[in-house]
């Protein structure tokens, strides 16, 4: 047979499905700057709550080589280690190489993931203490979204304080809803213990839009206002452990404050009193 094929019968060329590709199962847009999504998790993939992986999309085809390379960035896994899917929380940067495209993903799309989780915002990097502080700005909330749903967080500490500083009130919604949902999470209440969520003290603040609490957490701690409102003693190396995740300036400022309070930085290889990681920015 040598007939011409009707145009409609010609298969559309598709990029080959990469071995590391996962399928998007849910996308939620929180503001014009923020979105979260869930995707399938490889059955063999293990990680510790708080770790990050490299994820992304295929880049454009290089005109010279005719080939496309994956465009990958480090993303904290926002879901806990026991979840059968993976969740991520991302900023949308209009001209960001990855997020300008990633923000348009839909259910059923494929995301490339290198399944090698790493990171320092893990329980293993901290020595035992009484109170655990999570300090986040913007999408730096992501690893804490994982750790707040991790049973070990409540087994290891009497109290868990999560501070989240964002520009606007809308940027707090993902975190606020996640924390409020813990009260009604039957599975977690059964596994960790009824009322485990009462150990959480949530301290959200905004800096560029009116909300119940205005100001940078760094200033609110330095002035003593945050301690007074939370009803806790100032940070001390005997009782307090901390994890920091936000933009670079924030991380450095808070790190200096914790050091001044006498806390030492820990790592997987040498656990200590606090750990820090930069939030993903495209
Ligand atoms: P501000 O509005 O005063 O800059 P971004 O979206 O730029 O990553 O910022 C997220 C939040 O982190 C904003 O509320 C911002 O406040 C705050 N922030 C930025 N730098 C610092 C810092 N050095 N210390 C405390 N908060 C900071």
What would the pLDDT profile of 192-205 be if each residue is shown by its tens digit? 999 999 999 999 99
Report how far ligand 1's centroid is from the alpha carbon of 42 (Å).
Answer: 35
Per-residue pLDDT of 260-269, as tens digits, reads 999 999 999 9
Beta-bridge partner residues of 68: 61
What tokens appear for 128 in the block?
A: 């035992």
* pLDDT tens-digit readout, 139-165: 999 999 999 999 999 999 999 999 999
Asked whether residue 14 carries a pLDDT value surpassing 60, the answer given is no
252 CB under 6 A from ligand 1?
A: no
Q: Is the pLDDT of residue 137 over 70?
A: yes
Give residue 174 CA to ligand 1 midpoint distance, Å. 17
- For ligand 1, atom 6, the nearest C-alpha belongs to 138
Tokens coding 214: 């205005």
Determine the pLDDT at residue 8: 46
Ligand 1 probe mutation, 250, 251, 256, 278, most atoms within 8 A of CB: 250
Say yes or no to pLDDT of 44 above 70. yes
Residue nearest to ligand 1 atom 5, measured at CA: 138
Q: Helices in 60-105 by DSSP H: which ranges?
A: 99-102
Share of the chain above pLDDT 90, in %: 87
pLDDT of residue 281: 75
Query: The whole model's pTM is what?
Result: 0.93
Indicate whether 11 pLDDT > 70: no
pLDDT score for 20: 87
**CA of residue 58 to ligand 1 center, whole Å:** 31
For the chain, the average pLDDT equals 93
CA-to-CA distance for 133 and 259, rounded, in angstroms?
14
Average pLDDT for 54-79: 93
Q: Cα–Cα distances in Å, from 124 out to 48, 157, 279?
A: 9, 14, 20
The percentage of the chain sitting over the pLDDT mark of 70, rounded to a whole number, equals 93
Q: Is 213 in the pocket of ligand 1 (CB under 6 A)?
A: no
Q: Is 60 exceeded by the pLDDT of residue 63?
A: yes
Residue with the nearest Cα to atom 20 of ligand 1?
A: 250
CB 218 less than 6 A from any atom of ligand 1: yes
**Other residues' Cβ atoms within 10 Å of the Cβ of residue 213:** 15
At 112 the three-state DSSP class reads: strand
Report the distance separating Cα 106 and Cα 38, nearest Å: 10
User: What is the pLDDT averaged over residues 247-261?
Assistant: 97
- Ligand 1 midpoint to CA 68 (Å): 36
Q: Is the shortest distance between the CB of 216 and ligand 1 below 6 Å?
A: yes
**CA dist., res. 268 & res. 50, Å (int):** 12
Compute the average pLDDT of residues 14-40. Answer: 88
The response to whether residue 250 sits with its C-beta less than 6 Å from ligand 1 reads yes
Q: What is the mean pLDDT of residues 75-93?
A: 97
Output 13-19 pairs: Cβ under 8 A, ≥24 positions apart.
Answer: 15/58, 15/68, 17/110, 18/58, 18/70, 18/110, 18/112
204 lines ligand 1 (CB under 6 A): no
């Amino acid at each position: 047979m040598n007939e011409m094929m009707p145009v409609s019968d010609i298969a559309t060329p598709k990029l080959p499905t990469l071995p590391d590709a996962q399928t998007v199962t849910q996308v939620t847009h929180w503001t014009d700057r923020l979105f979260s999504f869930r995707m399938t998790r490889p059955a063999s993939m293990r990680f510790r709550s708080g770790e990050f992986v490299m994820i992304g999309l295929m880049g454009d085809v290089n005109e010279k080589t005719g080939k496309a390379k994956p465009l990958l960035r480090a993303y904290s896994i926002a879901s806990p280690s026991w979840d059968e899917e993976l969740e991520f929380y991302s900023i949308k940067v209009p001209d960001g190489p990855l997020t300008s495209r990633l923000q348009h993903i839909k259910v059923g799309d494929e995301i490339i993931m290198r399944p090698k989780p790493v990171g320092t915002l893990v329980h293993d990097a901290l020595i035992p203490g009484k109170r655990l502080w999570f300090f986040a700005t913007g999408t730096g909330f992501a690893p804490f979204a994982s750790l707040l749903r991790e049973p070990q967080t409540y087994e290891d500490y009497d109290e868990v304080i999560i501070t989240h500083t964002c520009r606007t009130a809308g940027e707090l919604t993902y975190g606020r809803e996640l924390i409020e949902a813990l009260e009604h999470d039957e599975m977690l209440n059964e596994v960790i213990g009824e009322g485990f969520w009462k150990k959480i003290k949530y301290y959200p603040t905004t800096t560029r839009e009116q909300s119940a609490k205005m100001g940078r957490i760094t200033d609110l701690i330095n002035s003593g206002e945050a301690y007074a409102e939370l009803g806790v003693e100032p940070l001390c190396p005997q009782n307090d452990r901390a994890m920091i995740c936000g933009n670079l300036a924030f991380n450095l400022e808070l790190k200096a404050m914790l050091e001044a309070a006498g806390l030492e930085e820990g790592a997987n290889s040498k656990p200590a009193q606090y750990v820090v990681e930069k939030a993903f920015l495209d």
